[in-house]
Structure 1
């Protein structure tokens, strides 16, 4: 029996050591564990999971190096937030926690003593308000995602290069199943809506099974970059879409996507309280094993 080929689309903060080989190996181990624990390994047969790394084509944003020490922070490309990115961040935080906007301090001096350099006082004021609503320290984690989402959604050259890496992996492996995590769900959804997923040999959808995990697609500011505002999220006919979300995942705030998407099946999972957004906490779930088994049967 030939291996069922699966492509993984990773999220942010992978680091320079996260090569395609390293990412593929770590994701494969978690999926293999899920299949074994679910008793589906034999039925599913061999699975070949490839996670193409797009770190080489992604810009090294200031946020990526914010906590890696003085040497990294002094890099030439370590630039502060400009007005356009500030507006994107403010909108994203407002979409993430709408009630936080009313909690925001309106004093022009608020936020000026909270930090310096990359993040503006307006961002810091809103971050404080979001933390009061969503939990202390939430925005520390969200800002990594928001800034890298901005790098993808507002920099077409970067976005095209990322999509090209994923498309090449699909063509090379012939995979018809994709598992996407975090920002990777935005990347692959963008590919679907642009018609950039190579079709199957019979002319049908090139990817028939999609699993998204810990997706930020529900944020309006992120959604604006990948489809028309006011329209529901959707995937092409013939694509079975399953979305895993965790109650304590700060990225999806414990919410699925079915409230704003059509054709998606939400599956709530328990990833614990710490590191609930971690990709391996999603990959080892029975729902992933079950979808892989179903993909094999089809």
Structure 2
């Protein structure tokens, strides 16, 4: 049996402390068992056979950023202060995530600002953060804020983005992988590569990658912040690439929504990951649809 080579493109936060070997092992172990062949009645195999998973880590090229709070001064050890450009990005990204929060901000009590530690946040960001929680649920903004700040470091810093893409491209070339599994911000990274023509191609110009599976993708609300694609135009992949998108209804990153209404040829699949950490990559990878996609990729 020939080996099926898979490259994983991880979310930025997941790779801050993990090596390529650790990420690859964890993703490989999380894959659902391959289903039995139709009509055979045979039990599912204990794991996907003949599969090699490589998940390159960006930790050596992606700078450490603040994760939970937006800091105001250099005395904060966990990240640089937010400048005006990043503040505008954060406000724009959060508004794109939940457009209704902009209207909700007007009704907020602003007397909280400067108290209970919230004064460390720029007042506009703090107000929008509270509006997010009011609209989407308590604590949602805390989970979104680290994501948006790290997304900014990729989307608005060309040298960082180029280094991340080159790390992924090098692995694609070395493995000759035909399948990409892209989680969270990793789906934006890989879509950016597709848009730039940075993935390996065959002699006839067709992409080597024939199967793309995105997991918990923020493409519907984050990609337009950078202009990864033209606003108002559908998201696109190269001809010959089968794209399946998994999303959990309770995952705050895709806001419980798929991509089929925004992307040509994408197939949305609902992944019920539960209420506890539904954005977790291993919960996505364990879904039977992943094993089915890999079987289809092997048969192609």
Fold equivalence (TM over 0.5)? yes
Deviation at 1:44, TM superposition (A): 6.2
Counterpart mapping for 1:20-59 below 5 A: 20-31=20-31, 33-35=32-34, 41=45, 45-59=49-63
Give the Cα separation in 2 of the matches to 1:228 and 1:199: 24
What CA deviation, in whole Å up to 9, does each residue of 1:53-108 have, x standing for no partner? 011100111227x59xxxx9525xx2111100001100111111111111104777
Judge which range, 8-17 or 96-105, deviates more: 8-17
What CA deviation, in whole Å up to 9, does each residue of 1:23-77 have, x standing for no partner? 000000011x44369956599641100000011100111227x59xxxx9525xx
Give the Cα separation in 2 of the matches to 1:138 and 1:43: 35
1:140 correspondence with 2:139 = no
Instruction: Identify which of 179, 182, 186 aligns with 2:181.
Output: 179
After TM superposition, where is structure 1 displaced by more than 4 Å over at least 4 residues in a row? Answer: 36-44, 106-110, 220-223
| 2:34/2:47 contact within 8 Å kept | no
1:94 correspondence with 2:95 = yes
TM-score normalised per structure 1: 0.90
Instruction: Identify which of 60, 66, 77 aligns with 1:74.
Output: 77
Instruction: Identify which of 180, 191, 194 aligns with 2:193.
Output: 191
Matching residue of 2:66: 62
Q: Residue 24 and residue 174 in structure 1: after superposition, are their counterparts in 2 closer, same or farther (change >3 A)?
A: same
What CA deviation, in whole Å up to 9, does each residue of 1:206-259 have, x standing for no partner? 211000000000105655331112211111111110000001101111110011
Give the Cα separation in 2 of the matches to 1:149 and 1:37: 40
Give the Cα separation in 2 of the matches to 1:123 and 1:146: 12
Give the Cα separation in 2 of the matches to 1:235 and 1:254: 22
Q: What is the aligned-residue RMSD (CA, Å)?
A: 2.4
Count residues with an aligned counterpart.
290
Give the Cα separation in 2 of the matches to 1:114 and 1:210: 45
Matching residue of 1:2: 2
Matching residue of 2:126: 124
Give the Cα separation in 2 of the matches to 1:120 and 1:211: 37
Q: Which runs of 5+ in 2 are unaligned?
A: 38-42
Q: Which runs of 5+ in 1 are unaligned?
A: none
Q: Residue 12 and residue 47 in structure 1: after superposition, are their counterparts in 2 closer, same or farther (change >3 A)?
A: same
SS in 2 for 1:6: strand
Give the Cα separation in 2 of the matches to 1:37 and 1:282: 20
Deviation at 1:174, TM superposition (A): 0.4
Give the Cα separation in 2 of the matches to 1:280 and 1:90: 30
Q: Residue 42 and residue 34 in structure 1: after superposition, are their counterparts in 2 closer, same or farther (change >3 A)?
A: closer
Instruction: Identify which of 287, 290, 293 aligns with 1:288.
Output: 290
